[in-house]
């Protein structure tokens, strides 16, 4: 039986962001933190790395925070122009890994490669949950890090992969990089 890659999940932690104004610990101040110049460059490197790997998302889920939107924009600039409109989901800002996974499980099956741009600790914890055996993830999920997970099916059982089935049993880490 020949194995086919049917689903791919890309988890991207936002690139390096500026600190909030001194003494302002409000959610609004945190949501409006921009990328630093180094973070902008890292976001572009992520996009070039994805392009070099020939990985192009057909579904994009992104936190509405400024730093995640800027990370996404920097990464997408290196990818083909015909990309889907990002789904900016307020529910993934400061989300638990369970909430992030629930959001992924809502992706329509018409999508084969999903990109989620989010925050730590949620992104890192979700990555560990999806593949607890992946020692590469023990290095830490630094700003601008990318984890690519794959869900396999076969040509005889193509219906065995659905985003609703995405969990720690169905996914495995293919690549972990800090472009």
Cα–Cα distance, 76 to 97 (Å, whole number): 24
Cα–Cα distance, 175 to 146 (Å, whole number): 8
What global pTM score does this model have? Answer: 0.92
Alpha-helical segments (H) within 7-115: 27-31, 37-52, 66-76, 97-104
| Main-chain phi, psi angles of 123, to 5 degrees | -65, -45
Asked whether the predicted pLDDT for residue 66 surpasses 60, the reply is yes
Distance of CA 138 to the CA centre of its chain: 17
CB burial of 57-94 (b: ≥16 within 10 Å; e: otherwise) equals: bbbbbbbebbbbbbbbbbbbebbeeeeeebebbeebbb
What CA–CA distances, in Å, run from 151 to 23, 109, 148? 44, 13, 10
Domains of the chain: 3-177 (3.40.50.1240)
Identify the residue with better confidence: 156 or 27: 27
Cα–Cα distance, 120 to 57 (Å, whole number): 21
The most confident of 12-26, 77-91, 161-175, by mean pLDDT: 77-91
pLDDT digits (tens, 9 = 90+) for 154-174: 455 555 678 888 888 888 999
**Cβ count within 10 A of residue 123:** 24
What is the per-residue pLDDT for 153?
60
44 within 8 A of 14, measured Cβ to Cβ: no
């Amino acid at each position: 039986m020949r194995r086919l890659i049917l689903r791919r999940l890309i988890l991207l932690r936002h690139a390096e962001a500026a600190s909030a104004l001194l003494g302002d610990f409000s959610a609004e101040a945190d949501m409006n933190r921009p990328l630093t110049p180094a973070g902008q460059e890292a976001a572009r490197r992520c996009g070039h790395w994805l392009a070099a790997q020939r990985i192009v998302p057909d579904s994009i889920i992104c936190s509405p925070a400024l730093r995640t939107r800027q990370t996404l924009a920097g990464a997408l600039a290196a990818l083909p122009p015909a990309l889907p409109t990002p789904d900016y989901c307020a529910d993934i800002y400061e989300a638990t890994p369970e909430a992030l996974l629930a959001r992924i499980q809502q992706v329509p099956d018409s999508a084969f490669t999903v990109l989620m741009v989010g925050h730590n600790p949620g992104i890192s914890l979700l990555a560990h949950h999806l593949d607890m055996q992946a020692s590469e993830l023990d290095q830490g999920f630094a700003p601008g890090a990318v984890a690519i997970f794959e869900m396999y099916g076969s040509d005889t059982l193509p219906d065995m992969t659905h985003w609703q089935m995405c969990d720690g049993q169905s996914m495995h880490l293919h690549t972990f990089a800090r472009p």
